[in-house]
Amino acid sequence: MATAAELAPAAASSTSAAVADDAEGVLSAPLAPTSAADATALRNVALLTAWVVSPVLLPIPVPAQMLVLALLVIHIASERAAVSLLARQADPSTDKEERDVISGAAAYRFPVMASCALLGLFLAFKYLPASVVAVLIGIYGLSLGSLALSSVLSPILAAVPGMPDWARATHSFFNDFVEVSAVDVGGLVLAVPVAVLYARTKLWLANNILAVSLALSAIEMLALGDFKSGAVLLSGLFFYDIFWVFGSKRVFGANVMVTVAKKFDGPIKLLFPKAQGFRWAAAVRSLPTREFSMLGLGDIVIPGLFVALLLRWDMRHTPVAPAPAEGEEAAPPTLVGPRPYYHTVLVGYTVGLVVTLVALNVFDAAQPALLYIVPACLLASVGLALYRGEMRELWAYTEEEEEEEEEKEKEANAVGPPASGENKKDL
């Protein structure tokens, strides 16, 4: 059983977009959703849904379930995050959801804060009334899961052919504190029954739907601000995972990570049913009693943030558009083109997860997946950078300046152009 850090990301709406041709036929950043982007979003969701549901009737081995689902989530979430970033860059004046950027000191604090949260949950389970803790955690987890699922469903509803423009339009309430559209409401209406089903039955399938939605939303709405912060965060959580799985029993008398993972009644982990054979009717009847393996969301989300960062690096450093002529502005990065770092770190993640599964079977005990995944991801990306002679550039790579420029542009657009006769000032 692979366990991971507890992570409770905030859910938020996302938009789908696609690259479009400019007047000269050069690929550029999208300005609005297109039918191609809608088709891609529908295809990704259909593929992800099919794989989540497939273990109900097909005897898929647990390692295959874990590997394919984890890779699908990371791939789809990384592209969703990149598309959202491109849409913000194409039109900074629009009110799109901001990313929460993890950089600098935040990367150092993250393992400490995660440790405090994990220990707090462990002590709550140990000393507080179980019924009270279960109710509070249940409400919290299901609320986040419902919002995350609605954020995944709303772009799909917006992509439905014939959906009227008024349904996609965003409306503000409470002095712009809440901004929703009709498709957002529709997504939430569809998400609530899944949360209710999980609350009443604890069905693994409902758990996985909510957990996958949380992972997608987390990778899309969180972001590593630079490569150094990514390396620091992964390294810190490497030691975090080792201590709370292997070392916590000596200090607290129990394996803190495993205890919280088992007692936390919420969609913070993925459940993988063990194969039952091809007897479909028997497989359906045995759903409530099947044995499961677990994979914590942290084992997907944390490496997924690093993978998404390297996808954005590829977008900026392996352009498909020709170099601009002197005095011309460079074309924005796109999702089209080679992705050497992205594909390499995905291979590293796959190797790390496979080693985790091997160690799980060899030692027959819970394994800290980040113990194997973190070195694999870091070695894969650094090794490629050294081979290509880009290590210095990769180590210095940061997106913080771009985030600040976007903020300044939004503020300038909000203020509006200066009145005629006023002098312009450079800020």
Q: CB 51: neighbour CB atoms within 10 A? A: 18
CB of 147 within 8 A of CB of 11? yes
Any bridge partners for residue 270, and if so which? 295
Instruction: Mark whether 299 is an active-site residue.
Output: yes
DSSP state of 398: B
Alpha helices in 54-181 (DSSP H): 62-90, 105-127, 130-158, 165-168
Through-space distance between the first and last CA atoms of the chain, rounded to whole angstroms: 55
CB of 45 within 8 A of CB of 159? no
Catalytic residue (choose from 184, 265, 299, 314): 299
Sign for the pseudo-dihedral over CA of 346, 49, 289, 4: positive
CB of 78 within 8 A of CB of 308? yes
- From 95, 84, 313, select the one nearest 216 (Cα to Cα): 84
Question: Is residue 104 left, alpha or beta, with left meaning phi > 0 and alpha meaning psi from -120 to 50?
Answer: left
Instruction: Mark whether 241 is an active-site residue.
Output: yes
CA distances from 88 to 32, 142, 152, 177 (A): 11, 30, 18, 19
In the chain, the amino acid numbered 57 is: L
List the structure tokens of 372.
């194997």
- CA–CA separation, 32 and 296 (whole Å): 35
Any bridge partners for residue 287, and if so which? none
List the structure tokens of 113.
């804060």
CA distances from 98 to 209, 223, 227, 288, 404 (A): 25, 10, 20, 40, 12
Q: CB 32: neighbour CB atoms within 10 A? A: 12
Residue labelled with tokens 């799909």: 156
Cα dihedral value 88, 91, 96, 98, nearest 10: 40
Q: How many residues does the chain have?
A: 427
List the structure tokens of 370.
């980040």
Catalytic residue (choose from 38, 226, 241, 265): 241
The catalytic residues are 241, 299
